[in-house]
Chain A
Amino acid sequence: MTDVLAIADHRRGELRPVSYELATAGRELADETGGDLHLAVISGAVDEFGEKLAREGVDVVHTVADGEEFNHDVYVQAIEQLVDTIDPQYVLVPNSVNGLDYAPAVAGRLDLSIVTDVVDLAVDGDSLIATREMYGGKVETTTELDAGTALATIREGEWPEAEGTADASIEAFDAEIDEDAVGSTVTGFEEVAGGDVDISEADLLVSIGRGIEEEENLDLIRDLVDALDATLSSSRPIVDNGWLPANRQVGQSGKVVTPDVYIAIGISGAVQHVAGMKGSDTIVAINTDPNAPIMDIADYAIHDDLFDVVPALIEEFQ
Chain B
Amino acid sequence: MKLRVYLNFDEKSVTDPVIWKLAKEFDVITNIRSASVKEGMGLVGLEIEGHTEMVEASVRWLEAQDGVHVEPIEQNIIEG
Answer yes or no: do A and B interact.
no
Task: Give B contacts to A, CB under 8 Å.
Answer: none
Task: Give A contacts to B, CB under 8 Å.
Answer: none
